[in-house]
């Protein structure tokens, strides 16, 4: 039988969808690692991105830093953190945070920078403080780009969180690493298919959120709908 057929059989096997090592459990573990990673990345990228986007300071440094972080091999960083911290959740989460920070940071400051300077100047002219301008003007208008950065970072983390299984943790990577150890290629392929499916579902949700943010950020067009007075004067 072909690997494709065996993979379909693996996915359709009811035993694969129950128990501690079943697909729902592994998906929840995978989402848990992704959520922890994004929280850690957001703690760094969101305040820094808002500051850079609003003030224009540290932009060159941020570009250089994100470029350096993108070049780091995640598996190598994971191995290094594991040697320093030992087995456990800390090492893979830290490695994944380094992966998630660059796209999230770029999305945050790009979103703030995308706001028309004339709009910002008008807000200042109305007496708004810098914090009010950021919160009421720049963030709502730049939200679509910010969600785009979050979307990109999340998808990268979902695709890479399989490395958690490399240090004996769970998640969908468990099927890939365990299948490789047993030379069970259908299990490996099924694990890859599940990761892709999860990424596609999340991508669709982010696409909907981004579209909603774009509609909300679009200035409402108040058209004058005054009826035209076309009453004809009586002819004498």
DSSP code at position 57: T
**Tell me, what's the pLDDT at 41?**
95
Q: Is the pLDDT of residue 218 over 60?
A: yes
pTM: 0.84
How long, in residues, is the chain? 236
- What is the number of alpha carbons within 13 Å of residue 138 lying toward its C-beta? 27
End-to-end CA distance of the chain: 96
Where are the chain's structural domains? 3-217
CB-based contact 95:74 (threshold 8 Å): yes
Regarding the domain with residue range 3-217, which homologous superfamily does it belong to in the CATH classification? MetI-like (1.10.3720.10)
Confidence category of residue 4, pLDDT binned at 50, 70, 90: confident
Contact, 104 vs 151, CB < 8 A?
A: no
Q: What is the pLDDT of residues 12-71, one digit of tens each?
A: 888 889 888 889 999 999 999 999 999 999 999 999 999 998 888 888 888 888 788 888
- Tokens 């992966």 locate to 99
CB neighbour list of residue 177: distance below 8 Å, 6 or more residues apart = 162, 165, 166
Question: Where does residue 112 rank: exposed (0-12), middle (13-18), buried (19+ CB within 10 A)?
Answer: buried
48-58 pLDDT per residue, tens: 999 998 888 88
């Amino acid at each position: 039988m072909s690997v494709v057929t065996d993979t379909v059989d693996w996915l359709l096997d009811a035993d694969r969808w129950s128990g501690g090592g079943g697909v729902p459990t592994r998906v929840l573990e995978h989402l848990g690692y992704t959520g922890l990673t994004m929280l850690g990345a957001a703690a760094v990228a969101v305040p820094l991105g808002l500051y850079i986007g609003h003030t224009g300071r540290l932009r060159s440094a941020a570009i250089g830093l994100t470029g350096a972080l993108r070049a780091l091999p995640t598996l190598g960083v994971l191995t290094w953190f594991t040697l320093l911290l030992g087995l456990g959740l800390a090492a893979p989460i830290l490695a994944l945070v380094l992966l998630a920070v660059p796209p999230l940071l770029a999305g945050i400051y790009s979103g703030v920078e995308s706001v028309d300077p004339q709009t910002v100047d008008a807000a200042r002219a109305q007496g708004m403080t810098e914090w009010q301008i950021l919160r009421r003007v720049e963030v709502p208008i730049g939200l679509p780009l910010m969600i785009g950065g979050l979307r990109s970072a999340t998808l990268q983390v979902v695709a890479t969180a399989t490395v958690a299984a490399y240090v004996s943790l769970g998640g969908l990577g468990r099927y890939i690493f365990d299948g490789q150890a047993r030379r069970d290629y259908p299990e490996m392929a099924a694990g890859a298919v599940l990761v892709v499916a999860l990424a596609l579902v999340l991508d669709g949700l982010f696409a909907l959120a981004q579209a909603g943010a774009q509609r909300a950020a679009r200035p409402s067009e108040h058209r004058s709908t005054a009826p035209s007075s076309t009453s004809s004067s009586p002819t004498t």
